[in-house]
Amino acid sequence: MDTILVTGALGQIGSELVPTLRTRYEDVEVVASDIEPDPDVPGPYEAVDVTDRAQVEAVIEKYDVDTVFHLAALLSAAGEQNPDRAFNVNVGGLHNVLEVGREYELDRIVIPSSIAVYGPATPDNPSERTIRSPTTMYGITKVLAENLGAYYHEKYDLDVRGIRLPGIVSHKTRPNGGTTDYAVDAFYEAVWEGEYTYFVREDTRLPMVYMSDAIDALIALAEADESDLQYQCEYNISALSFTAKELSERIEERINEFDARYDPDERQSIADSWPSTLDDTAARSDWGWSAEYDLDKMVDEMVHNLRQRTEGALS
């Protein structure tokens, strides 16, 4: 990797992946891009609308990019509010990246997928080839993304690879538009307000991963020898699986005055359609995936860092 482009760099994952890549690869130029013009971010940055192929091509040509982490996407809840936009960004944007990648013979394209590819017909603890039956536009677009990546690999020998991410928990950037956002919002509201109303039932259990583990997974997959990979874009990774109530109990152990309430909304049906656990045996055996954070370690980290931010803002 000589020059890396990260699309969707201002999002929850991108805002942490970019600085991690720049720290890890000191001799590699990492170009951040997102649809917003001139944000206050360090390092090379370009405003790129991935639905405009000319803009994608221009930034890849300008920086002589050889590797892309394609993160630009509309998430599950946001996608249900605007399904046309979700399709255009998630499928059209990826198609543009793949086409430019084919034309410029890029070395590698990494495209995160999601547990949203699964649905009500999927049995719990699914593996990579278990039936996918999404009920959201986001999930549908991610199935198409996985299939497009496999198609470009088979037809054009383009190295496209990806992982199915569960819900991501991070204290640095608050998510926006995802069904698993409650697993982050609960921490913010617990530290700031001492209370939080979940938009899912207390018994809702979903797979999650702490951000640093998710970042490590993306980079480890990007670094893996292609000959070791039995899949292209559909590797499951799993680290944590907990109910909303279990999360509340862990938070309350650290924040005594935390008042958790539950008022399910339309996102509950999306959560109910996803598996509560994932089989990630393939990722562990093929490229050495393993998670560092368990539930208690994650809760400690979240509460500690958000308290520090709150104290810093007040000082």
Nearest of 16, 207, 198, 33 to residue 114 by alpha carbon: 207
Beta bridge partners of 259: 195
Chain-centre distance for alpha carbon 204: 20
Report CA-CA distances (Å) from 303 to 247, 261, 273. Answer: 12, 19, 29
Catalytic residue among 138, 196, 210, 293: 138
Beta bridge partners of 70: 7
What SS3 state is found at 103?
helix
Q: 141-172 as b/e, with b when 16 or more CB fall inside 10 Å?
A: bbbbbbebbbebbeeeebbbbbbbbbbbbbbe
State yes or no: is 138 an active-site residue: yes
Beta bridge partners of 7: 70
* Cα(93)–Cα(89) distance, integer angstroms: 5
* Cα(314)–Cα(133) distance, integer angstroms: 48
**Residue found under tokens 């583990």:** 213
Beta bridge partners of 29: 3
Helix segments in 255-294, DSSP class H: 267-272, 281-287
Handedness of CA 263, 243, 213, 313 (dihedral sign): positive
* Cα(34)–Cα(8) distance, integer angstroms: 5
Contacts of 147 (CB under 8 A, 6+ apart): none
What SS3 state is found at 143?
helix
Catalytic residues: 138
